[in-house]
């Protein structure tokens, strides 16, 4: 088992198989949710770039970026 202290000074342990005790389980769930949200946002950004096409073909894009 590995004992750690989080940014608030609260202790938590991680056992050999990589599971986390209940004190930090909520934080792990939030991290997982944030990672899924970030992945969704990256996919949306890629789709938007594909729809918009290259910036050189649309002069209005350059005006908005200034």
Please report the pLDDT score of residue 51 as a whole number.
85
Buried/exposed 24-36: b ≥16 CB within 10 Å, e otherwise = beeeeeeeeeeee
Residuewise pLDDT in 10s, the chain (66 residues): 678 888 888 888 876 555 556 767 777 888 889 999 999 999 999 998 888 876 655 555 555 555
Please report the pLDDT score of residue 40 as a whole number.
94
Task: Answer for the pair 28, 20: CB distance below 8 angstroms, yes or no.
Answer: yes
Please report the pLDDT score of residue 7 as a whole number.
81
To the question of pTM greater than 0.85 for the whole model, the response is no
Give the integer Cα–Cα distance in Å for 15 and 28.
14
Pairing of strands 11-14, 2-5: antiparallel
Please report the pLDDT score of residue 42 as a whole number.
92
Task: Answer for the pair 36, 44: CB distance below 8 angstroms, yes or no.
Answer: no
Task: Answer for the pair 36, 28: CB distance below 8 angstroms, yes or no.
Answer: no
């Amino acid at each position: 088992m590995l004992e750690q202290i989080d940014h608030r000074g609260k202790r938590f342990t991680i056992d050999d198989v990589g599971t986390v005790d209940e004190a930090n389980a909520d934080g792990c769930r939030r991290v997982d949710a944030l990672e899924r949200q970030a992945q969704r946002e990256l996919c949306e950004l890629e789709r938007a770039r594909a729809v918009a096409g290259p910036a050189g073909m649309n002069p209005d894009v350059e005006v908005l970026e200034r």
